[in-house]
Chain A
Amino acid sequence: MTGQPALQDYAVEQMNRLLTTLAVQVHRAAKKPGPDQIHDLRVSIRRFSQGLNLFGGFFPKSEAKKIHRTLKRMMGLTSSIRDRDIAIDFLAASQHTAHKPRLSRERSRYQRQFSQMLRRWTASDFSAQWRNGLALSATRGRV
């Protein structure tokens, strides 16, 4: 065993790691909100959420709830973009062109909302706020 870590220390270490990854993916998606970046962001959100679910007992309940709500909004928005990306790929593969302009317009609209949300996240230095809110900052640095 790698030193038989106490559960709380282990939870804090894992959550720090997941939040660092999430912050990296947010910055990456903010720079270029393409399908790959959005996919990776969604994966890191799910991982972080699952960590928060599993180790939630170690963190302030109200803060964890607030973060869950924020993540849920982001997942909803990225889901709308992802659905259009998949459908556009499908149309290209099956050589249909009829619906592509509509889907592209819809994607652009959702992407604008997504970019706005990401700007708010990055402007408010969300990872530092969450690290403080979850009391993770005592043990690790931040992105």
Chain B
Amino acid sequence: MKLKPSLTAAENARQILPRMARKYFEAGRKAIEGKRPPGELHGFRLKTKRFRYTLELFQPLYGPNLDRYLKALRELQGALGEVSDYQAIDRVLAADGELKKQIDRVLKTKVRELRKSWRAFDSDGALKRWRTYLAGDHSKQAGRPAKQATKGAAAAAPRKPQARAESAGGQSLETRTESAQAGG
């Protein structure tokens, strides 16, 4: 993503983030809907983190409405995390044939759940909503507390709650949360 020093931070954000959203959705469709092996989901999980952290870097310029989008992303990241947890378990315990069978069974379930989460995330024109929101001027909302800023955001925000989020109380084997650090 090429930033333009001649533009303000907000103008840069409005230019690069919608493009980044498009690329992110394309990568997700390819990785998840393409029925690829679970191992290939790792790359998409890293893309999800990068996308989320980039959005968070520009969060002060968007105001609290961006939280709704970040929440949807965190929830998807939670489902990806569950798959990743079982891939990690498989890496260190694969030598035990009995355990491996058990791990593979759970992993298949987690991949199915991830696909469901992705379909909820990428539904009803979600990409268009993301792009429209990220390309918009949200200077009036920036710096406002959440209560004042949520008005009018509902139409643009992701509509469906997702299955699980690290930061929304979802339990992964790690049961850790990234929200504790959100916003630094």
Contacts and interface: CB of A to CB of B under 8 A. Distances in A.
Interface of A: 1-2, 4-11, 14, 17-18, 20-21, 25, 35-36, 39-40, 43-44, 46-47, 50-51, 53-55, 57-58, 82-87, 89-91, 93-94, 96, 98-99, 103, 106
Interface string B45-83: 000011001101100110000000000000000000000
B91 interface: yes
A91 B102 CA distance: 11
Contacts of B56: 47
B5 A99 contact: no
Contact of B88 (A51, A82, A93): A82
A93 B174 contact: no
B180 A7 contact: no
B10 A47 contact: no
Interface stretch (B92-100, B111-119, B151-159): B92-100
Interface residues on B, range: 35 or more
Contacts of A94: 102
A17 B1 CA distance: 21
A54 B3 contact: yes
B39 interface: no
A9 B174 CA distance: 37
A87 B100 CA distance: 12
A95 to B, nearest CB: 11
Contacts of B91: 83
Given A47-B184, A86-B174, A90-B103, 20 more contacts: A1-B8, A4-B10, A6-B9, A7-B7, A7-B9, A8-B5, A10-B9, A11-B9, A25-B181, A40-B180, A43-B181, A44-B184, A47-B53, A54-B54, A57-B5, A82-B88, A84-B92, A90-B85, A98-B96, A99-B96
Interface in B150-184: 173-176, 178, 180-181, 184
Contacts of A8: 5
Nearest to A47: B53
A68 B57 CA distance: 18
B174 to A, nearest CB: 6
Interface of B: 1, 3-5, 7-10, 12, 49-50, 53-54, 56-57, 60-61, 85, 88-89, 91-93, 96, 99, 102-103, 139, 142-143, 173-176, 178, 180-181, 184
B181 A40 contact: yes
B178 A43 contact: yes
Nearest to B141: A1
Contacts of A91: 93
A50 B57 contact: yes
Of A8, A10, A58, A103, most B-chain CB atoms within 10 Å: A10
Contacts of A10: 8-9
A50 B46 CA distance: 11
Contacts of B57: 14, 50-51, 54
B1 A54 contact: yes
Contacts of B3: 7, 54-55, 57
Contacts of A55: 3
